[in-house]
Structure 1
Amino acid sequence: MKSLKKYKITSILICAILHSFIYTSCIDRLDFIGTTEEGQLVIYGLLTDSGEKQIVTISRTSLLGLAPKGVPGAEVFLLTDSGEKIRYFDIGNGVYELINYKVNDGKRYSLEVIFENNTYRSSFESLPKATGEDNLSFTFKNEPFNNESPEPVFTVSTECTFPETPEPIFIRWLVEETYLWERIWLPCVGWCPPPPPNCFISDLIEPNRLNLFDGSNTGTRNTSLVLGKRQVDNSFISIFFVSVRQLSINREAFIYWEKIKIAVSNQGSLFDIPPAPVFGNIYNAANPNERVLGYFEVAKEKITRISTNRGDVPFFLNRPCEFIVGKPASEYTAECIECDERARGKKWTTIEPPWWNEN
């Protein structure tokens, strides 16, 4: 049962992180009340100063540790301490989106969700003032990762420097990969269509790894940290970008993520604290006894990128989609023809990201 409880927490965490690409105000201790129940509401929102889409996800927990199910049909609003109320748009599957909203340093923000005659709110949070400066690097080497024996592994790390500020800095990092996948242009007779556009495929690297820095208990202004690892495969055949989202968060949000990290890392020994739901800053305004999972956090964001290509990889990479004269179209695998087949559920587009050639 302990491994099942652990998986339930992990699935909720991964779901929230993936949607942020991609959770009552009292969070000074971890409430252990047993296993996550089926149908518990999970509300997660991330508001940043990046100027990009702001996302809120609403879901309900499922049995057997399965990923939460998206909840559409809610009314979702961003509230400010000056009385503004801005609506998020329901784009389906429990995802709500706010576009072109400029976060103001001088305001405090809260989330309001109206669903099934209940009103859920978060505590107000303000935008932190400072971020660190990431200096990214990567390595390729043989080491144990998913297996006990060594295997080719790609690792991205940071040397992060923080400014001198009167207020402590709390940091959380998210790491996303985006790689180029070239599709086959099949031979044809007569009029031929233009070559198909390439695929740009994105995913989080180790979404269940929580990279945190607490600047309140140390005088150091820098830290060295491994941000993520993944197996080396043919995703590295062409250009491979890593985008590191550094989120400067408030103390309360840091405490929440630190408790999540403890719960997810728990291995279930006799002397460990048992895994259990971690409650954040969202509550039912009319029924404070309802246990609501998730968090609404306001973060100052900085994105740093690093890229690699085939010439950096010291391992053999299989090329499944090389064009061979005379080879029938039926003998090429589906991933050589369609982006969706290659992506296998990951995000993809045929539009080159605006930052693609910045390095």
Structure 2
Amino acid sequence: MRNSIKVMLGYCLPFLLLLNLVTSCIDRLDFLGETEEGQLVIYGLFTDLDEIHVVNVSRTESFGFQPRGVINAQVAILTEDGERHVYLNAGNGNYELQNIKAIENISYALEVLVDNKIYRSSFEKVPSVIAEDSLSFTFTYEPFKNEVSEQLFTLSTTSNLSSVEDPVFLRWMAEETHLWQRTIIPCAGWCPPPPPNCFIYDFMEPNNLKLFDGSQSSTRQAIQVMWRRSVDNSFFFPFFFSVRQLSINRKAYQYWEKIKIMINNQGSLFDIPPATIFGNISNVEAQDELVLGYFEVAKSKITRIYTTRADVPFNMAEPCLYNPQKPLDSYPRGCMNCAERAGNRKWNELNPEWWVFD
């Protein structure tokens, strides 16, 4: 039976140790489609960076529920030369591959075995070109999500393309990481060490797809506003923005462009699109089975920029500053506990290795 089912084509693997974009994290992207309950969804990203590469395998659910992770799949990446690298089961439908990275001029395909059925993507090569991103930001006071003006942060990029004649197709996604200092309670005599800082991570506008088609551009430079967010007390402390650029092939670009057009035409991720969008994965023995998702092979580069309190032109009070006149139980819970502050975002207490200021 066909239903209007919420299909999440993006997943972000819960990080256990190092929570950052160096892990090949799949950005969240939700939309509705006319699909069948139990339909297979496979999405993966394989790049030329030394990182954890992730594939997610799931099946659609009815009544708008998120897809259900397939926990008994066998996942491997193949090369046309016959090499085979097996992903490890990380749970919840996520499968990881480490110590392997994409190499130029070698074609890769994904193979997934589920319920004795083999699903395989088309072979794709790593693109040979990538652009150089230069990031910048502004703070303004203007309408954002409604007509009321608010304090706004805008992240922009200038991308200088390679001089080679090969067509360039790009996709970007961004992750934000902010430091959060908990309230330090003074004490007399022997005192325990102050609590470590919290590092809280989230994606910037994950449904706002940023794409570039170099074959349709007469310039070798792309300047664009990438993402925006409201300014809150997170900006009182150092705040990093990590932009991952993916150089992809034409077919992958067309796949994401169709999703972007569908989102823009419908005006909402919760509207039903006119047709389901399918990718490059199919059932080897039953080509008529409709499989959702896409396996991307991409050249990747990460660029970062940060802000400090001195960059913010708005008045901001230190969120969790200790006040001896204030009862301890009156502080916001997030001032005492990282998990409370993070909510449903990922967090840890470890300085990322790239947390370096010029």
Question: What's the TM-score once normalised by structure 1's chain length?
Answer: 0.88
Q: In the alignment, which residue of structure 1 is the partner of 2:346?
A: 347
* Change in 2 beyond 3 A, CA 1:344/1:175: same
1:194-227 residue CA offsets vs partner (Å, 9 max, x unmatched): 1111011111100001100001122210111111
Superposition pairs for residues 271-282 of structure 1, below 5 Å? Answer: 274-282=273-281
Instruction: Check if 1:192 corresponds to 2:196.
Output: no
Distance in 1 (alpha carbons) for counterparts of 2:285 and 2:24:
28
**Residue 218 in 1 paired to residue 196 in 2?**
no
Q: Map of 1:321-332 to 2, 5 A cutoff?
A: 321-325=320-324, 327-332=326-331
| TM-superposed deviation, 1:93 | 1.1
Match of 1:87 in 2: 86
1:149 corresponds in structure 2 to: 148
Question: Does structure 2 conserve the Cα–Cα contact (< 8 Å) formed by 1:163 and 1:221?
Answer: yes
Equivalent position SS for 1:335: helix
1:12 lines up with 2:16 in the alignment: no
Task: State the alpha-carbon separation in 2 of the partners of residues 207 and 145 from structure 1.
Answer: 16
User: After superposition, what is the alpha-carbon deviation per residue over 1:230-261, rounded to whole angstroms, capped at 9, x for unaligned?
Assistant: 11111111101111101000111001000111
Name the CA distance, whole Å, in 2 between partners of 1:297 and 1:210: 15
Instruction: Verify the 8 A CA contact 2:48 2:300 in the aligned structure 1.
Output: yes
Q: Which residue of 2 aligns with 1:42?
A: 41
1:21 to 19, 25, 37: 25
RMSD in angstroms over aligned alpha carbons? 2.4
Q: Is the 8 A contact 2:245 2:301 kept in 1?
A: yes
Within 5 Å, which residues of 2 pair with 1:108-257? 108-188=107-187, 191-257=190-256
Give, in angstroms, the shift of residue 69 of structure 1: 2.5
Q: In structure 2, what is the Cα distance between the partners aligned to 1:206 and 1:95?
A: 23
Unaligned runs of 5+ in 1: 24-33
* 1:358 Cα deviation from its structure 2 partner: 4.6
Paired residue secondary structure (1:345): coil
Contact 1:321–1:332 (Cα < 8 Å) also in 2: yes
1:177–1:241 CA contact under 8 A, matched in 2: yes
3-state SS in 2 of match to 1:65: coil
Q: Which residue identity lines up with residue 212 of structure 2 in the other structure?
A: F
Q: Tell me, which stretches of 5 or more residues in structure 2 are unaligned?
A: 15-22, 28-32
Identity within the alignment, %: 54
Matches within 5 A, 1:251-290: 251-267=250-266, 274-290=273-289
Displacement of 1:357: 0.8
Structure 1 Cα separation of the partners of residues 273 and 92 of structure 2: 32
Assess if the C-alpha contact under 8 Å between 1:14 and 1:207 holds in 2: no
- The answer on whether the counterparts of 1:15 and 1:68 sit within 8 Å (CA) in structure 2 is no
2:183 partner SS: coil
Q: Is the 8 A contact 1:13 1:208 kept in 2?
A: no
Q: Secondary structure in 1 aligned to 2:252?
A: helix
TM-superposed CA distance for 1:17, in Å, is 10
